[in-house]
Amino acid sequence: MFKYIIKRLLMLIPILLVVTFVIFTLLYITPGDPAKMILGQTATEEAVAELRAELGLDQPFLIQYLNYMKDLIFHFDIGTSYTTGQPVIDEIMNCLPATLKLALSSILIAVVVGVPIGVISAVKQYSIFDNIVMVLGLAGISMPVFWLGLLLIILFSVRLGILPASGYSTWQQMILPAVTLSAQSIAVVARMTRSSMLEEIRKDYIRTVRMKGQTEMRITIFHGLRNALIPIVTVIGTQFGSLLGGAVMCETIFSIPGIGRLMVDSIKTRNFPIVQGGVLFIAIGFALVNLLVDIIYAFLDPKIKAQYK
Amino acid sequence: MNQKKQNKEKKYSFWGDTWKRLKRNRLAMFGLFIIGLLVFCAIFADLIAPYDYATQDLMNAYQGPSLQHWFGTDEFGRDILSRVIYGTRISLQIGFIAVGISLIFGGFLGAVAGYYGGKLDNFIMRVMDIIMSIPSILLAISIVAALGSSMTNLMIATGISYIPSYARIVRASILGIKDQEFIEAAKAVGTSDWTIIIRHILPNCLAPIIVQATLGVAFAILTAAGLSFIGLGIAPPTPEWGSMLSTGRNYIRDYWHMTLFPGLAIALTIFALNVLGDGLRDALDPKLRG
């Protein structure tokens, strides 16, 4: 198991190399001169040239990329922000807690709400509850994060005035962003739980357990759900990726200073080091979540654990 | 001969059969109806829209829904209903063209990877894995950042970010088919690789591609609207739903109708495409039905 984790972590290296290369190339070919951006329209030609040399922007592409990678690997340095002059890593670290808080609370809500709904729906298939949940689920999947956020603000902040529409420090401020971001995941998790449970509770071993006189509650949770968990965990893992994307919208709507908003602002000001760093961080986060999902598989299914060597 | 012909007519073709099953799914038919309506709006926007989408009428700005302006007016007094109708043109175009891009490139890469296998397969699929290791909306954001924001770039950006999912589907389908006898027979009579792929293999993996493409149009529209919403897509004067929402957000305290209707248009479109996609999945593959 330990060996497997090490192997997976090592496999991250080529992925990150290529991700950095792709993002670096993309932003290299981007029109617009960052040096001019920093100094403003009124700057003299000499000043711009000087700054370009200072930032290393006058070097050929490959040298720039190699320098970037050298700093990344040996000094854990991914450049300095063009606008503030701060190291990119610091800027990202400042924004990371807000994004993490938002993403984690959303995924928590998605699991706590989505899984039970899916289980009840499966057990009571074709009941009124099931029908309502399935239609709501489809609606939830179709709901754009940014529109839902605005609607919730209109209802709870503007009309009812019971929840704040921005900020992220207190739990009251977190409610609207977290609910907004989790809505889609709740729907996806509930739908997946339902279909996975439906498949599981029809199997023969469930009938055997029932004949043994086990209570329905125990059958559903300890036998059915326990064995239906693998697809559910998978879908929660993939949801994390779309949550990170949705976080960009959510942070914009609720004025939360997270990585998503940092990146969007940086794109608008052509602050490339931040954009590169942000994508790199998110790619790492996404890869780690996938690894975590694979590790959880091992705990859920001994057959899978036997394969991890 | 006559008898034979009659028999043939009674039998349903694969598509006829699919259509029959799809028709029984009321939700999917609702989705199809909405999409038909949207396509109609997009084509005949000039005839349906009660007002021009760009004409300003500052005396009538910020009006709530009324008989003259069903969806109200925006900050320049433009009719929101008309703007939403013209918006279907933009969103549907983005959706279909973006899916076209990912379908062509993804299909090609997946076909090559699946058919030839070996090192080429390994290389292509690893590249796809890497693209997939960046959440698609972030990839789209990076591409738009690099290319600059315009409608064409928006299509390219969303198109590229969904290439891997098509490559995977086509590859998986090809792997399931390429060792069957009829392919071997085609090879034996000397058919070229590309003829085999296009004439014999692709038609056989059309079903999962159609489902993915239907859902893909929804993803693309959603991504494009999201990018416009955060200011990286289509800029305000154009009646794009996402950018209308972004404008509406500035007036959210006083004029809720400016955010309600464009958002409703997006949500309804996505909903319709999702239920149609789900319905198609069930109709195309009866084995999968719960």
Q: Tens digits of per-residue pLDDT, A33-78? A: 777 777 777 777 788 788 777 777 777 888 888 888 887 777 777 7
In the predicted model, is pLDDT for residue B163 greater than 50?
Answer: yes
Among B128, B137, B150, B276, the strongest candidate for a mutation testing the A interface, having the largest count of A CBs within 10 A, is: B137
Residues 6+ apart with CB under 8 A from A59: A67
Report CB contact under 8 Å: B130, A144: no
Q: What is the mean pLDDT of chain A?
A: 84
Is B275 in CB contact (< 8 Å) with chain A? Answer: yes
Residues of chain B contacting residue A275, judged by C-beta atoms under 8 Å apart: 142, 145
In the predicted model, is pLDDT for residue A15 greater than 80?
Answer: no
pLDDT at position A129, please? Answer: 92
Residues of chain A contacting residue B142, judged by C-beta atoms under 8 Å apart: 23, 26-27, 275, 279
- In terms of pTM, does the model score above 0.95? no
Q: Which of A153, A249, A275 sits opposite B230 (nearest CB)?
A: A249
DSSP secondary structure letter of residue B286: G
pLDDT at position B35, please? Answer: 92
Residues of chain B contacting residue A151, judged by C-beta atoms under 8 Å apart: 259-260, 263
Residues of chain A contacting residue B266, judged by C-beta atoms under 8 Å apart: 144, 147
- Taking CA–CA distances from A156, the nearest residue in chain B reads B253
Report CB contact under 8 Å: A264, B231: yes
Mean pLDDT of A121-134: 89
Is B162 in CB contact (< 8 Å) with chain A? Answer: no
Indicate left, alpha or beta for B190 from its phi (over 0: left) and psi (-120 to 50: alpha). Answer: left
Q: For chain A, what percent of residues have pLDDT higher than 70?
A: 98
Q: Tens digits of per-residue pLDDT, B77-133? A: 788 888 888 889 889 999 999 999 999 999 999 988 988 888 888 888 888 887 887
- How would DSSP label each residue in B186-221? HHHTT--HHHIIIIIIGGGGHHHHHHHHHHHHHHHH
Mean pLDDT of B213-222: 89
Q: What does the alpha-carbon distance between residue B82 and residue B32 come to, in Å, rounded to a whole number? A: 23
Nearest alpha-carbon partner for B202 in B116, B100, B97, B114: B114
Residues of chain B contacting residue A286, judged by C-beta atoms under 8 Å apart: 133-135
pLDDT at position B290, please? Answer: 38
3-state secondary structure A23-62: HHHHHHCCCCCHHHHHHCCCCCHHHHHHHHHHHCCCCCHH
Domains of chain A by residue range = 15-77, 92-308
Mean pLDDT of A12-19: 80
In the predicted model, is pLDDT for residue A265 greater than 70?
Answer: yes
pLDDT at position B178, please? Answer: 80
pLDDT at position B1, please? Answer: 47
Residue A181: alpha-carbon gap to chain centroid = 10
- Shortest alpha-carbon distance between residue B68 and chain A (Å): 25
pLDDT at position B101, please? Answer: 94
Q: What does the alpha-carbon distance between residue A108 and residue A102 come to, in Å, rounded to a whole number? A: 10
Residues of chain A contacting residue B129, judged by C-beta atoms under 8 Å apart: 15
Residues 6+ apart with CB under 8 A from A176: A149, A152, A153, A156, A157, A163, A164, A165, A254
Q: How confident is the model at residue A114 (pLDDT cuts 50, 70, 90)?
A: very high
Among A131, A138, A146, A156, the strongest candidate for a mutation testing the B interface, having the largest count of B CBs within 10 A, is: A146
Q: What is the mean pLDDT of chain B?
A: 83
In the predicted model, is pLDDT for residue B265 greater than 70?
Answer: yes
Helix (H, G, I), strand (E, B) or coil at B242: helix
Mean pLDDT of B53-72: 76
Indicate left, alpha or beta for A79 from its phi (over 0: left) and psi (-120 to 50: alpha). Answer: left
For domain A92-308, give its CATH number from 3.30.70.1340, 1.10.3720.10, 1.20.1260.10, 3.40.50.720.
1.10.3720.10
pLDDT at position B33, please? Answer: 93
pLDDT at position B11, please? Answer: 62
In the predicted model, is pLDDT for residue B214 greater than 60?
Answer: yes
Q: For chain B, what percent of residues have pLDDT higher than 70?
A: 94
Helix (H, G, I), strand (E, B) or coil at A83: coil
- Taking CA–CA distances from A274, the nearest residue in chain B reads B142
pLDDT at position A309, please? Answer: 63
ipTM of the complex: 0.80
Q: Tens digits of per-residue pLDDT, A128-166? A: 999 898 888 888 888 888 889 888 988 888 888 888 888
Contact between A264 and B232 (Cβ < 8 Å): yes
Contact between B241 and B91 (Cβ < 8 Å): yes
- How would DSSP label each residue in B130-162? HHHTS-HHHHHHHHHHHH-SSHHHHHHHHHHHT
Q: Which amino acid is at A78?
A: I
Residues of chain A contacting residue B260, judged by C-beta atoms under 8 Å apart: 151, 154
pLDDT at position A216, please? Answer: 86
Among B91, B163, B229, the strongest candidate for a mutation testing the A interface, having the largest count of A CBs within 10 A, is: B229
In the predicted model, is pLDDT for residue A301 greater than 90?
Answer: no
